[in-house]
């Protein structure tokens, strides 16, 4: 589709530099550290801890500018490494399964540390697994994907990535909402609501918004965008009907995976299993 040559490298470098420059000039990401310090704990009841003043972002530049630069460099390094090892992974089922397990572990670590910065990050394995494992298991049991088939890697990766996105968006939105509306949580508790119900009622609407990107992508497929699975199938020689069927499966599976992931992480936040107590801000957020 695109020639791999010096021109492509130059364009990629220019695009990454432009993204970093825009994020820096617009000061994107400023305030995230301070907002996170301001609360988001269990029920948001420690949301008063935040103080005034400017965060580290004004002293050291836009957090998202650094994050964009780091993400671009990591993507290049990681794709180069995967390109070198993928041929060896598919030669043996244990290696293939180990690679899928690695994808899951990285997704869990990424989601956990994006949502919270304490030991509760490990709980993010639950929403990702709850969404992905049933779908992948169904594919294997029905024979649509074989355990020794290289297709297991991209299919699992797409689903894990979707669960990662849903978990991060729902978890962050839920904790932010609890921090901002901690007074309403306290009022619900005063009215006799159990802790779990009080937090759930406040966090649910915000966490549910994590489903919007996936819903919009599904609603507009073929009209606004032609997603990667469809284009990849066409370039690989498949018919438009076959490509459309595969893309439809991907979109429907992603909606199922993300719905489960959002529901599970919302429950974990409501029960206080995932929180931001004693968290420390990190760069690049």
What is the domain partition of the chain in residue ranges?
1-89, 92-276
Quote the longest CA-to-CA distance of the chain: 66
pLDDT confidence bin for 84, thresholds 50/70/90:
confident
pLDDT digits (tens, 9 = 90+) for 53-68: 444 444 445 778 888 9
Residue 120 DSSP class: G
Whether the per-residue pLDDT at 285 is higher than 50: the answer is no
Which of 266, 279, 273 has the alpha carbon at shortest distance from 49? 279
Instruction: Specify the pTM.
Output: 0.78
* Cα 10 off chain centre by: 29
Q: Which residue has the tokens 């492509």?
A: 8
pLDDT at res. 82: 84
Residues 6+ apart with CB under 8 A from 136: 145, 152, 155, 156, 159
Q: Which residue has the tokens 């090892």?
A: 85
Residues 6+ apart with CB under 8 A from 69: 16, 20
Residues 6+ apart with CB under 8 A from 104: 125, 128, 129, 132, 160
**Percent of all residues in the chain with a pLDDT value above 90, rounded to a whole number:** 35
Whether the per-residue pLDDT at 137 is higher than 70: the answer is yes
């Amino acid at each position: 589709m695109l020639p791999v040559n010096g021109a492509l490298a130059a364009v990629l470098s220019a695009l990454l530099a432009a993204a970093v420059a825009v994020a820096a000039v617009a000061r994107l990401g400023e305030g995230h550290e301070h907002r996170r310090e301001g609360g988001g704990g269990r029920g948001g009841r420690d949301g008063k801890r935040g103080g005034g003043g400017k965060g580290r972002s004004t002293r050291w530049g836009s957090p998202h500018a650094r994050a964009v630069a780091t993400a671009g460099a990591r993507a290049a390094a990681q794709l180069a490494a995967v390109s070198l090892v993928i041929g060896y992974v598919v030669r043996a089922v244990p290696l293939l399964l180990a690679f899928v397990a690695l994808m899951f572990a990285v997704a869990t670590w990424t989601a956990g540390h994006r949502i919270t910065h304490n030991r509760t990050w490990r709980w993010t394995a639950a929403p990702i697994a709850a969404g992905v494992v049933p779908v992948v298991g169904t594919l294997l049991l029905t024979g649509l994907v074989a355990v020794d088939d290289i297709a297991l890697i991209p299919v699992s990766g797409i689903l894990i990535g979707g669960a990662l996105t849903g978990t991060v968006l729902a978890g962050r939105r839920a904790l932010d909402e609890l921090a901002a509306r901690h007074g309403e949580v306290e009022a619900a508790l005063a009215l006799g609501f159990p802790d779990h119900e009080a937090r759930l009622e406040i966090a649910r609407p915000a966490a549910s918004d994590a489903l919007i990107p996936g819903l919009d992508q599904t609603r507009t497929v073929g009209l606004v965008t032609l997603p990667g699975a469809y284009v990849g199938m066409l370039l690989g020689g498949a018919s438009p009907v076959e490509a459309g069927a595969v893309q439809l499966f991907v979109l429907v599976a992603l909606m199922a995976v993300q719905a489960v992931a959002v529901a599970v992480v919302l429950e974990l936040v409501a029960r206080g299993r995932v929180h931001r107590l004693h968290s420390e801000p990190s760069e690049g957020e």
